Structure 1
Amino acid sequence: MFSDDLVNWIVLGLVFVAVVLVVMALAPLVLGRTDIKARLAAQGGSAVADSGPGSIRNDQSTTVWARLVQEVERRGMSLTDSTSDRLSEKLALAGFDQSYAPRAFTLARAVGTLGLSSLLVLVFAATGNWPSAGKLYMMVIGAALFGLYLPGIIVSSRAENRAKEILNGFPDTLDLVLVCLEAGLGIDAAFNRVGSEITTSHPLLARLFAQVSLELRAGRSREVALRMLARKSGVPEITAFTTLIIQSDRLGASVATALRIYASEMREQRRMRAEEKAHRIPVLLSVPLVCFMLPTMVAVLMLPAAIGMKQQMAKADEQKAAKAQ
């Protein structure tokens, strides 16, 4: 067990760290409200918001996470990771494609590591039920490791869900691209048209196609734009689709014919994935059936027999007792 003085110093230190983190988290919000009041005062107290669309950079820099990252770095803490490029690609696959996403991820890991361990110690301090030194050390280390790896688990789970959503909507999108090409549109115009049509049904694909259209309008080559599309999607099927378009464009082959064959293969793969999930259901259902249903059925079937045997044994004992008398 720790001595009382050492425990008090540990608790005070963790409380100080927690207070600093809370102040750093709330400071951007307070400063943001102060900036808004200052701008309103400069405009004569008018509360009418600007109806313009604003720039993307301005929108990304005014979010809570962006302001929090800026405030933390302004106070001298560097959030730049040595593996920022790989981390940016991993976060982009999960949908976090903002410029501050890697730094926010690093900040979330630091806050989770310190916050969960501090919270655990504060709970012990509030209840007064301190475990032994070894147990406390292991629990604090476990909480810190959980807070360290929790953001990565969340990002990986979100990336998997995003890839599944893109993959499920890609065959329908591919059919629309094929219809546009057969109607006489070029591949660039087909991306723009399909991106505007699937905004409601498949928003992730619509966003990817819109980015390709914007890159093509900005002057980027079609091959580079398509390879960027494959990298941002993280789905092998879209990578094969972009490779197919690039190779058809280089060789001068008909893109519509190649896409028609590829679209039929994609629909067949989606049907096979659905059948695979359907065939997996009985195997998955066997686990809860064995764990929950089988003991209940055994108890229902065996209980009457057990009661009957007990009654017969009781009668036999009574008969023996009567004979003995």
Structure 2
Amino acid sequence: MEGLLAQNWGRMAVLAAIFALVVIGVLVLNAFVAGRQAVRRRIEASAGQLPDGSAMSLRADATRNAWTRLVDAIERRGLSLSDTNAEGLRARLISAGYSSTYAPRWFTLIRLGMTLGFPLLFITVSLTSNESPSLIKLYFIGSISAVAGLYLPNLWITARSDRRQQKIVNGFPDALDLMLVCVEAGLGIEAAFDRVGREMSISHSLVSEMLGNVVLELRAGRSREESLRRMADRVQVDEIRSFSTLLIQSDKLGSSIGTTLRIYAAEMREKRRMRAEEKAHRLPVLLSIPLVACMLPVMIGVLMLPAGIRVIRQILPVLAGG
């Protein structure tokens, strides 16, 4: 019994040492990154620029919640939650629907918590169980759980971004048709965006939100070209990016926006029809898997069973008599 307790205490000491080394490595790495980012902020401040996310808004006090206070408290204690690729991470989060300025730091905090929490949870459950696992098993499963905690948030953001992009692509041809009707009725492009956004708030809420953001930026004084480019950058969909480029070129060259919308709306409807046909053509291939795995053995059994019974009735007596 004493040897078993000594062995368990030895394992716990080794695991505690490994955990301490990992935590110290993470803190040192974060301190190094925070130092570089502080230098970059001072350089940008001296050049008269503000870093991303530092601008205050009139709704800053209203948007502060428990997560925001937690992030501020952690950063005040010296642990920076800013990502090295802040612009790319913020673009990915915006395309996934998380447009808050604190979203990148929330994402980093969640990744850090899952990376350290999954191994700790597994080690705690293993040590409190009746069977004490081996050190190699704890090490490998703890490493796998840490990697899972590191990459699961990325997979979640990617999946959510893909779902949003698919919904926008499916609803954008209807928005183009309504926009064409509004422009041909005499409305300007800003009024058309506003009207179509309000009309599609129930059927296609993501398209309505996208158009509403463009209208708000135009009313705030931003140029049409910059507002359309920002819309394409937020959504990160090829069809929206092409649409923004077409409107910008039509505005610069002075061509008819109605003609541009009519041609692009017909092209988008054709693409949607082709996507539907592609899904329909994939159905036979997808149905062949359950057909071969489930139905084909049953059909073979039904067809071959009478022949098998007849063979048994006629051949076995002959063999037994011979």
**Please, what TM-score do these two structures have when normalized by structure 1?**
0.78
Structure 1's unaligned 5+ residue stretches are 17-53, 321-325
* Counterparts of 1:302 and 1:120, CA distance in 2: 53
RMSD over aligned Cα atoms: 2.8
Whether the aligned pair in 1 keeps the contact of 2:169 and 2:239 (CA below 8 Å) is yes
Determine the structure 2 residue equivalent to 1:281. 283
Q: Cα deviation per residue 1:150-202 (whole Å; 9 max; x = unaligned)?
A: 00000000000000000000000011111111111111111112112111111
Residue 3 in structure 1 maps to residue 28 in structure 2: no
Determine the structure 1 residue equivalent to 2:84. 82
Say if 1:179 and 1:58 are closer, same or farther in 2 by CA, change over 3 A.
farther
* Counterparts of 1:199 and 1:212, CA distance in 2: 15
Whether the aligned pair in 2 keeps the contact of 1:11 and 1:122 (CA below 8 Å) is no
Determine the structure 2 residue equivalent to 1:60. 63
Q: Residue type matched to 2:63 in 1?
A: Q
Aligned pairs for 1:1-325 within 5 A: 3-9=7-13, 56-62=59-65, 64-302=66-304, 315=317, 319=321
Structure 2's unaligned 5+ residue stretches are 21-56
* Counterparts of 1:176 and 1:147, CA distance in 2: 44
Identical columns (%): 49
Whether the aligned pair in 2 keeps the contact of 1:14 and 1:118 (CA below 8 Å) is no
Q: Residue type matched to 1:202 in 2?
A: H
Q: Secondary structure at the match of 1:61?
A: coil
Structure 1 residue 58, shift from structure 2 partner = 3.2
* Counterparts of 2:76 and 2:242, CA distance in 1: 44
Number of positions where the alignment pairs a residue of Structure 1 with one of Structure 2: 282
Whether the aligned pair in 2 keeps the contact of 1:91 and 1:102 (CA below 8 Å) is yes
* Counterparts of 1:304 and 1:131, CA distance in 2: 56
Determine the structure 1 residue equivalent to 2:51. none
* Counterparts of 2:299 and 2:219, CA distance in 1: 67
Structure 1 residue 128, shift from structure 2 partner = 2.8
Determine the structure 2 residue equivalent to 1:51. none
Structure 1 residue 59, shift from structure 2 partner = 3.7
Determine the structure 1 residue equivalent to 2:46. none
Q: Cα deviation per residue 1:32-63 (whole Å; 9 max; x = unaligned)?
A: xxxxxxxxxxxxxxxxxxxxxx964334322x
Say if 1:229 and 1:291 are closer, same or farther in 2 by CA, change over 3 A.
same
Structure 1 residue 286, shift from structure 2 partner = 1.3
Q: Residue type matched to 1:104 in 2?
A: W
Say if 1:139 and 1:162 are closer, same or farther in 2 by CA, change over 3 A.
same
**Please, what TM-score do these two structures have when normalized by structure 2?**
0.79
Whether the aligned pair in 1 keeps the contact of 2:11 and 2:135 (CA below 8 Å) is no
Say if 1:61 and 1:310 are closer, same or farther in 2 by CA, change over 3 A.
farther
